[in-house]
Amino acid sequence: MSLPKDFKWGFATASYQIEGSINEDGRGPTIWDTFCAIPGKIADGSSGVVACDSYKRTKEDIELLKSVGAKAYRFSIGWSRVIPLGGRNDPINQKGLDHYVKFVDDLIEAGIEPFITLLHWDLPDALEKRYGGYLNKDEFSADFENYARVMFKAIPKCKHWITFNEPWCSSILGYNTGYFAPGRTSDRSKSPVGDSAREPWIVGHSLLVAHGKAVKVYREEFKPTQGGEIGITLNGDATLPWDPEDPEDVEACNRKIEFAISWFADPIYFGEYPESMRKQLGDRLPKWTDEDRALVKGSNDFYGMNHYTANYIKHKKGVPPEDDFLGNLETLFYNKKGDCIGPETQSFWLRPHAQGFRDLLNWLSKRYGYPKIYVTENGTSLKGENDMSLEQILEDDFRVKYFHDYVHAMAKASAEDGVNVQGYMAWSLMDNFEWAEGYETRFGVTYVDYVNDQKRYPKKSAKSLKPLFDSLIRKE
């Protein structure tokens, strides 16, 4: 038994990926509604219009969670359901707010602990149009602070709050590659607007300051009476040197994590961006004012960790191009000897490598003083899953093995390495709208039949997690 007795495990989802009902009960449009409407942006031309229809099926979703033994559920609020235009002077939509209040009440009644993410990428479109969204630090952080306050006040029963999900994705995929909403990039074949060399770093800074403001509000106005905790969720991959004998490849492994994770974690834990980023990016990386640094430094009660995969890292020589966001290096699936890091999945970026999870848990713990960690996402797609028969899909042994290997790696990090990991949410409770990949990629432990009324069918992996955690969580 190698996980703490009060360890919380369950599943995770995000509002735009599962809710649907985008025009119901006063919800306003988000940047993803707008992005999905642009031809060619989503692999199968789809959107979150219906998704898993979860807005109308909260009861069904809770029954599903109960049936697989989940103790916790991480979900996100649709900001534009609560404040359709998003801003601090815009009206609150009571119907939208009431929906989430009732959902939390129902979860708690079912014995499931809510972990609420305030923003999982679906920014109200009105804020994008009004002042450029994340690009306007002062306006955005003030509006986010107001929205956070509305939610903290409305849902005092929630004891675990996450400000942002994966700010790296919002910044890099939204403003460098243009792969995600709002799709800004220097590549004029993809977008008429954007500056891949500068905008991502501005956006990352805005998100950090907005996070700091929301945390300050929670700690000063709500935590004394509600007694909860608040943090941010960051994503990053494990790294192994392409050539372990080459010190420059070894160094590049750290730099890759710094450019992905420490970009956000270093300001939160140390008050400054990593040296490697300052060196490469120079004046393109925003400077910290004393006021903003005071907001952000120390603003995590826990570290939210999203993790899926690993890469071999090979350093590059020479001056990196202005739009480089990796840290002047290559990410590869094969090393110098020709070893492959892990089997293929449906996702071009994802290959299972469970030892990397343990390694990264250790890397983060050592760097940030062994913080409390909640693994807020971890999971895998399966190659060709969407083309299989229902019988084949439900026998998802590949995903069962993934969870088995990764959860055991985490348990070893807890028991043998002193890592303070306190929770784990599998991604995802059900197949859903997988952003730019549309519905072609499935990450769920539950099959969703999009053609036949969004019917849900738990896969083998859904039923595998309870016995897995039962075998690892200490009884006393």
Calculate Rg over the CA atoms of the chain: 21
- Residue 20 CB neighbour total at 10 angstroms: 22
- Return the exposure string of 322-342: e unless at least 16 CB atoms fall within 10 Å of the residue's CB, then b: eebbbbbbebebebeeeeebb
Residue 252 and residue 327: Cα distance in Å, rounded?
A: 8
Residue 197 and residue 338: Cα distance in Å, rounded?
A: 33
Catalytic residue among 145, 166, 434, 437: 166
Q: How far is CA 137 from the centre of its chain?
A: 21
- Whether 166 is a known active-site residue: answer yes
- β-pair type (303-306, 373-377): parallel
- Whether 377 is a known active-site residue: answer yes
Helices (H), 178-307: 199-217, 223-226, 247-257, 263-270, 275-281, 290-296
- Number of helices followed by number of strands (H, E) in the chain: 19, 13
Q: What share of the chain is helix, strand, coil (3-state, %, to 5)?
A: 45, 15, 40
What lies within 8 Å, CB to CB, of 52 at 6+ separation is 17, 18, 19, 20, 430, 431, 432, 433, 448, 454, 456
Residue 352 and residue 349: Cα distance in Å, rounded?
A: 10
Q: Are 412 and 404 in contact (CB under 8 A)?
A: no
- Best CA proximity match to 140, nearest among 111, 119, 157: 119
The Cα-based distances of 198 to 34, 188, 192, 201, 348 in angstroms read 23, 16, 16, 6, 27
Quote the Cα angle for 215-366-405, to 5°. Answer: 95
- Best CA proximity match to 428, nearest among 107, 2, 15: 15
Catalytic residue among 113, 145, 377, 437: 377
Q: Are 263 and 280 in contact (CB under 8 A)?
A: no
Residue 171 and residue 202: Cα distance in Å, rounded?
A: 8
- Best CA proximity match to 30, nearest among 128, 132, 165, 124: 124
Catalytic residue numbers?
Answer: 166, 377
